[in-house]
Structure 1
Amino acid sequence: MRYCDPTIMADDTTQSAASGETGTWSALGNSVFRNFWIFSFFAYIGASMQTVGAGWLMTQLDPSPAKVAQVQAAFSFAAFLFGLPAGVVSDLVDRRWVLLGSLGCLMIIAVALGLVTLSGAISPNALIALTFLFGTAAAVVSPAMQATTPDLVPRLQLPSALTLNGMNSSIARAVGPGLAGIILGLWGAGWMFVLNVLAFVGLFVVILFWRNLRATQAPSKQSFFHALQEGLQFSIKQPPLRRLLLKTLLNFLMMSILLALVPSVVNRLLDGRPQTLGMLLACFGVGSVLGSLILGRLYARLTRSRVIDFATASHASVLLIVGLSSNTYWSAIAMLIAGMSWTAIMTSVNIIWQLLLPPQLRARGLSINLMAMMGSLALGAVIWGEVAERYSLQSAFLFAAVGGVLISLLTSRLQLVEELQDSAAADGSTH
């Protein structure tokens, strides 16, 4: 196994710059990134399977929409609470140890949930609590992984690496739910949680054998709270990021209903089989892959802010189909389109953050972005679960769809990329 040595990275950087390797697949020529990318794929599959299994298990323990939505809310709320502190820690200390510690926790929690489920001692509240713990560990992993990527490839290959990472997670979202549905149908949720540990082992071993990664990330002498304040101030003072945060908060508040209540849709409106839930979420993942593939063409014609607007309106429209249709095939098509829209929004938002953030604030800035997304997903899941419980599942999806369209129209006037380019140009002229 090749060690993650800064001198090797420097050689890769020189060779890539000289050869002009800046295509979509160019970052895979870097063996350090390639190993990281391959085993990240299995970790993404594991995370996807975990959330599918937890959501389905709750429909068996307590089928009320409010309780089912709390599973997604617990996962998202954990990321909201701990995503930013995790980003601060990732900027202050060696990210290798942050990744190793958080991946180890993911494995321990998956085993614990599996054993409790197999023993029959699992309860709705215990499931929510363990899902919260899993979400906490995942919240630590996410900014550390994203902030590590630019350290593994030369700057010219960073767009390639970010695209490949997005494609990686998108494909995993297609594979993971389908695999989860099969395992749930054959052996149940308990064994699926236990087997899920294998998904994280490979990435843990790859990172364990990295050496001298810290040399690309000098230790900081800042205090935790000073670093936290610095990250927040930078994000709030930058007009493009401030407006992007507002757009993100509103969009994901409406979008949160889909992943929070799709287990209830399967249980109440469709055939109630775990394989169907896996298939619908697999369609969502396939849509994410397709979205990744067509984004380049969209960016050639539209600004990233316009892509976000278009994808938000598209996602809102398919909520009507998912929430009102009792036809599995129509729901599958809607989930496919939803996956495309979701990826277009998340990728566009992530690229804007990555381009504007300075290296020393990268993990903190990405964590603020994650905090905005997850906070909206958590709050939205609780809101839509209660709406579905008090009124109906169909009413909740109808309200979310109308809200999504209105938000798309109201926030379309917020220009993001043009200001970003102006800010970058002004920043460049001062150096």
Structure 2
Amino acid sequence: MTAPLASLRTRWFESSPLRHAPFRLFYFGSVGAALGYTMQATVAAWLMATLTPSALMVALVQTASTAPSLLFGLLAGALADIVDRRRVILVTQIVLLIATLLLGAATLAGLTGPATLLALTFLIGAGFTFYMPAQQASINEFVSRAELARAVALGAVAFNVARAVGPALAGGIAAWLGSGSAMLASALFFTLMIVAVRGLKTRELAFPGVPERLFSGVQSGLRYARHSPAMRSLIIRNLSFSVCASALWALLPVIARDQLSLGAGGFGLLSAAFGVGAVVGALSIPRQLQRTSLNTVVTSGVLLWTIATLLIAATDVTAIALVGACGAGVAWVSVLASLSAGTQSAAPAWVRARAVAMNLVAVQASLAVGSVLWGALASVADTRVALAASAGCMVLLYALNRRVRVEMGSEADVTPAVQLPDLAIAVEPLPDDGPVLIQLEYQVAPEHRDAFLRAVHAAAPTRRRNGATSWRVFRDLSQDGRYVERYIVTSWAEYVRLRTRMTMADRELQNRVEELQRPDVPVRISRLIGVDAPPP
């Protein structure tokens, strides 16, 4: 029996991304960070309950922990794309370590009050918010594209195991040694990621030149999502699932208490069943994505969540509710981890962390808004009605979004195109000079006009998502067959970045336009820059 098990373990390891030493080091550091964070959150909630009888103050601990993801999530994504991600991870882990140590020491010294606890919890939540996009966007640097889904699934397993083990471990230490000691113990886990990233090589910036500024980087990320059909589809499916799935998250304690007539132990059982399902779902993702499309995996997860939610709503039998919670866990990770893999596979390197951050913010915003809505409905009616309504809403949103398909990105979607030749200009403008007007003039034969217009409009999103703030194609009224494509970029530095951001897929779309140009006439390109009136 031992030999077959050893052989199976060897085969699994040889096919796992963990066989790569850098990823293995990074992965175990991620497990440590997740454990430290979940332990800290658990101890903080319990500590507030011992400091004040106010239920509002206890609830504000969760708010202080999650609010930074809504406030700073997009900034965190932009920072991780602009600055070396290894440095971002290292700094955030040091912040998490110091803040948690301070909170633990203050608790042991009897100096922690509600305001201090909320302030340091908010700081810890902010540190974790800036850590997550950098951590997830870094996965692509350690594994091949073929292994990406498996690597993301391993990350989902790690986080869900940490979410199950972390609170239990924190509770045990707090009961044995006290809350302050439990807080100090949680801080030690952040050192695992500090050690891991110090052992990794610094990533060279893929796009040299003038780096983006933080807020303009956020705008670039939002512009990319707006003009990328693949990214829009991923975010829409994320939002429509999370806002409905938030009902079970928000109402699980009430389901255990009122619907199933169980105490805290019953809530723990439901949470454990959900966690087991989440691990099972994460482990099944790579095989599912090998056998079928991302869209099918996500749709199956949506349907499974609907069935599981209705099963919980319809029963007062604990065993059946546990089956439903386990199914909901499978569906939760199947949908969100698959969408995360799709995001990381479809986003080019220059905007990958921002794409990850947008999906993280979408989940947190949906949970925040949805929890209020479904909680209010449960207060007016009961949990059964709220769960059934959320399942109905899930089906309705799926029907409305049935044409919104999600797919894994291709190699061409993220591979930079062949470097464009240097610009032939007399004097290069300053980085902040602008705006820049780019004009391309085409001569198209009459029989190719319809094909040209379809091709040039298909290429328009590549201009917009890579940096253009406006785009239009014009027909010359005085010269038959002459068309002018114009787009505007806010600054010279942004135009230089636009040229480097082009992928193989973008280049292919633009080649189709140029192929319809009359062969005896070259495409004429003009670059003009805005000028202001001289001072009087």
- TM-score computed with the length of structure 1 as normaliser: 0.79
Please show how residues 155-304 of structure 1 align to structure 2 within 5 Å. Answer: 155-180=145-170, 182-183=172-173, 191-214=181-204, 221-266=211-256, 270-273=261-264, 276-304=266-294
Structure 1 residues 371, 251: CA separation in 2 closer, same or farther (over 3 Å shift)?
same
Structure 1 residues 50, 80: CA separation in 2 closer, same or farther (over 3 Å shift)?
same
Per-residue deviation at 1:307? 2.0
Alpha-carbon separation, structure 1, partners of 2:28 and 2:397? 37
The answer as to whether partners of 1:116 and 1:122 remain within 8 angstroms in 2 is: no
Task: Tell me whether 1:104 sits opposite 2:91 in the alignment.
Answer: no
1:345-369 deviation per Cα after TM superposition (whole angstroms, max 9, x unaligned) = 1122112211211111111111111
* Bigger strand share: 2
The answer as to whether partners of 1:99 and 1:144 remain within 8 angstroms in 2 is: yes
Candidates 284, 291, 306, aligned match of 2:296: 306
Q: Which has the higher contact order (CA 8 A, sep 6+)?
A: 1
Alpha-carbon separation, structure 1, partners of 2:80 and 2:387? 38
Bigger Cα displacement from structure 2, 348-357 vs 382-391? 382-391
Q: Which residue of 2 aligns with 1:369?
A: 359
Alpha-carbon separation, structure 2, partners of 1:156 and 1:402? 36
Q: What is the number of residues matched between the two proteins? A: 407
Alpha-carbon separation, structure 2, partners of 1:316 and 1:56? 33
Per-residue deviation at 1:371? 1.5
Q: Which residue of 1 aligns with 2:344?
A: 354
Per-residue deviation at 1:251? 1.4
1:293-330 deviation per Cα after TM superposition (whole angstroms, max 9, x unaligned) = 22234334542223222212322333345567555444
Please show how residues 14-29 of structure 1 align to structure 2 within 5 Å. Answer: 25-29=15-19
Q: Which residue of 1 aligns with 2:487?
A: none
Give, as a single letter, the amino acid of the residue that structure 1 aligns with 2:272: A
Stretches of structure 1 lacking an aligned partner (at least 5 in a row): 1-20
Q: Which residue of 1 aligns with 2:491?
A: none
The answer as to whether partners of 1:254 and 1:403 remain within 8 angstroms in 2 is: yes
Structure 1 residues 52, 121: CA separation in 2 closer, same or farther (over 3 Å shift)?
closer
Alpha-carbon separation, structure 2, partners of 1:360 and 1:152? 17
Per-residue deviation at 1:415? 1.8
Q: Which residue of 2 aligns with 1:12?
A: none
Q: Which residue of 2 aligns with 1:138?
A: 128
Per-residue deviation at 1:403? 2.2
Higher Cα Rg, which structure: 2
Please show how residues 17-166 of structure 1 align to structure 2 within 5 Å. Answer: 25-53=15-43, 72=62, 74-111=64-101, 113-114=103-104, 119=110, 123=114, 130-166=120-156
The answer as to whether partners of 1:22 and 1:156 remain within 8 angstroms in 2 is: no
Give, as a single letter, the amino acid of the residue that structure 2 aligns with 1:79: S
Q: Which residue of 2 aligns with 1:11?
A: none
* Paired residue secondary structure (2:404): coil
Candidates 274, 289, 308, aligned match of 1:318: 308
Alpha-carbon separation, structure 2, partners of 1:394 and 1:50? 33
The answer as to whether partners of 1:59 and 1:263 remain within 8 angstroms in 2 is: no
* Bigger helix share: 1
- TM-score computed with the length of structure 2 as normaliser: 0.65
Identity across the alignment (%) = 31
Alpha-carbon separation, structure 1, partners of 2:217 and 2:377? 39
Per-residue deviation at 1:409? 3.2
Alpha-carbon separation, structure 2, partners of 1:43 and 1:154? 24
Give, as a single letter, the amino acid of the residue that structure 1 aligns with 2:237: K
RMSD: 3.7
The answer as to whether partners of 1:313 and 1:408 remain within 8 angstroms in 2 is: no
Per-residue deviation at 1:35? 1.0
